Amino acid sequence: MDQKLIHTGDGVYRAKLNLGKGQFQFRIADNSFTCGTNFGAIGGERLKLNQPTALNSCNSKQNFQLKVFRSGEYEILLDPKSETVQVSLVVPPQEQGAEVAAAPAQCDTWDGGDVTVAVGDTFAEGQLVRDFYSGATATVSGGSITLTPANNSEGLLLLEPAEKESSDEFSWDNATVYFVLTDRFENGDPSNDNSYGRKKDGKDEIGTFHGGDLKGLTNKLDYLDELGVNAIWLSAPYEQIHGWIGGGIRGDFKHYAYHGYYVLDYTKVDANMGTEDEFRAFVDAAHERGIRVVMDIVMNHTGYATLADMQEFKFGAFQEFEQPIEEIIGAEQWTDWEPGPGETYHSFNNLVDYGNSVWAKNWWGREWIRTDIAGHKKPGRNDRTMMLAYLPDFLTESKEPAPLPHFFANKPDTKAVAIEGATVRQQLIGWLTQWVRDYGIDGFRVDTAKHVEMEAWAELKVEATAALAEWKQNNPDKALDDKPFWMTGEVWGHGVNKSNYFTEGGYDSIINFRYQNDGALVGMECFSKSEEVYETYAKKINSDDSFNVLTYLSSHDTKLFFNRNANDDIASYKAVAAPFLLLPGGVQIFYGDETARPFGATGSDKHQGTRSDMNWADIEEGGDEQRIDLLRHWQKIAQFRKKHQAVAAGQHEKLGESPYAFSRSLGDDKVMIVFAGKPM
């Protein structure tokens, strides 16, 4: 069928159409995507409603089969980032068969007065109950309780037993994880801002290092503790490529590895982040506050080759020119090269001879990576063997021994030691788990999980679990508990479903990609509309001890919810805090979610704007009063969540419609949440 897909500005192409019952064939033809985005013919792949279907590489036509059992309005989503197509039912017809949308349900309003609500079995007759938000108390009488929500609470009551101080004992089932790109958070040591010859660009600083570091992160741990955070996920602290690549589709800015996804050496702390002692001090300080440390890791790919690294570590080759390459580059330090007329920051690639087989002898080596650079194993078309975003792909499936990467011979500060007969996978797992063994890292957030074979993840989990147990045994005065190592992962498009990442890969959790574009929107519109999400999540997650998800509102790879869905309106955005933070299962706060961090400079890469600097000035004394109020709102709800494991891990029961009320219970930990309605 002919249907134009519209780009909506968030990286996704969408279309809506009415379908009756029957069998349909979709054909995506003559698209403008390149082979590098891995779109291509599926060959009659059957689509399942509400589930992303993967696309393959480089053919011009793509065919899909869809069987529709229920007529209605459907939405097609084509996502270049996840390389998937998805069809979902948006509006079912009314009973008489008319193809029209039902009128949206009205949201209750609250006039600022008292609210009386039946408590069911949550609290006993005569029991004193406290509203955690306001601190006010009341006694249950006639099976009901009457309290007045705080003026700034968005009509919320967070009810708990007043006579019992519930424990905030940690559980990964109740995790509130704060994801921070260290470089964009807080600069604790300006002296390390330009390590390895890295420089600012003097322009919008879209993809440069901004100066945030481990010392700055340590300085802000009290802030995170006050926010109610009990785990922090930080960008990979190990050494990244020293130079830059062309940023965005137009090559309009220098893109450095400030985010931690372009590894150079797993055995070293990146100097922009700080020192080993500063990393140890950060982990210890977090643990002293009861905050677990989750480290972002990549085991799928290396970093790109850059001019800076080629010069420093003496790898790669250049095209043959009449002039010496140094004269053509025109700078003593190759990283200082600038594009000339008609060129972009991508144009440095025109100087490099990627067809020279010397790359296999002086860079990582053919035993380590697959890449389209000469002398290496060529990339494939499936998730396991492709080059994601043209990044060289580690041969984690190889059974052959892999000597240390060749360029390490010109990197005297590496701590990597040759291991006789070790495979790529064994080397990588050894390097990554050494961070656990040395510092007491509590968990990993795994990047691009679907691009590595499942058995590699299972092996990593076993080795990391052993490493953490060893660290705790060697550091009994620092160990918080005897909980095992925890692992969550990025599987693009994954929702609240128990997949083989749990049963075969050793994962304790997988990131939930669905909520940001689904449950969060209806929750912001009206808190009581979260009931279906809450009931579904609680039933799936809290009935299975071996299953959990990590749900987010904003992400560095998708969008800032404040910017894209709340349209930069703080008053509207405040309404999504409670629906999100009171979700069953784990939740992930992206740094600045709690302060409505503004979208930043982005150039021709829409994701860069999601990684703006933390907006500290907005919440300091004399700052933005709306944002200060927003932060206090997040603090109250997140602290309540942290205090009661029942919020995330308990059984969910709806108790009332108007006002909307529900309980969560886990053993003797019982709480109740009431939504009086939107403030008038």
Catalytic residue numbers read 447, 490
Strand partners, 109: 678
Strand segments, DSSP code E, in 5-164 are 6-7, 13-19, 22-29, 45-46, 53-54, 61-68, 72-79, 84-91, 109-110, 115-118, 128-131, 137-139, 144-147, 156-161
Distance separating alpha carbons of residues 275 and 371, to the nearest angstrom: 32
Q: Which two tokens stand for residue 123?
A: 């609290």
Q: Please list, in sequence order, all residues whose beta carbon lies within 8 angstroms of the beta carbon of residue 569, skipping any fewer than 6 positions away.
A: none
Give the chain's end-to-end CA distance (angstroms, integer): 47
Matching residue, tokens 């529709």: 68
Please enumerate in sequence order all residues whose Cβ is within 8 A of that of 259, keeping only pairs 6 or more positions apart, or say none: 181, 183, 235, 556, 611
- β-bridge partners, 238: 269
Q: What is the distance of C-alpha 313 from the center of its chain?
A: 32
Which sign, positive or negative, has the C-alpha torsion 303, 305, 309, 315? Answer: positive
Residues 613, 670 contacting (CB under 8 angstroms): no
Calpha distance 308→298 (Å, rounded): 22
Give the whole-angstrom CA distance, residue 584 versus residue 447. Answer: 23
Q: Which two tokens stand for residue 524?
A: 């912001």
CA 546 to chain centre: 21
Query: Cβ contacts of residue 434 below 8 Å, gap of 6+?
Result: 267, 467
Structure-token match 């574009």, residue found:
517
Q: Tokens at residue 185, please?
A: 């958070």
- The answer to whether 580 and 554 have CB atoms below 8 angstroms apart is no
- Residue 248 near residue 198 (C-beta atoms within 8 A): no
Q: Which of 181, 54, 100, 117 is nearest to 672 (CA)?
A: 117
Element (H, E) at 360: helix 359-362
User: How many whole angstroms separate alpha carbon 323 and alpha carbon 325?
Assistant: 6
Burial (0-12, 13-18, 19+ Cβ within 10 Å), 532: exposed
Euclidean distance between CA atoms 209 and 206, whole angstroms: 9
DSSP, residue by residue, 438-451: HH---EEEESSGGG
Give the whole-angstrom CA distance, residue 307 versus residue 329. Answer: 10
Q: Which two tokens stand for residue 350?
A: 């025109």
C-alpha dist (Å) from residue 535 to 121, 367, 529, 540, 655: 18, 49, 11, 9, 12
The token pair that represents 242 in the structure block: 């020293």
**277 contact partners, CB below 8 Å, separation of at least 6:** none
Contact 371, 387 (CB under 8 A): yes
- For residues 188 and 624, what is the distance between their CA atoms, to the nearest angstrom? 23
CB 360 within 8 A of CB 305: no
> Is beta strand 292-297 parallel, antiparallel or unpaired with respect to 245-247?
unpaired
- Look up residue 213 and give its amino acid: D
Q: 539 CB contacts (<8 Å, ≥6 apart)?
A: 652
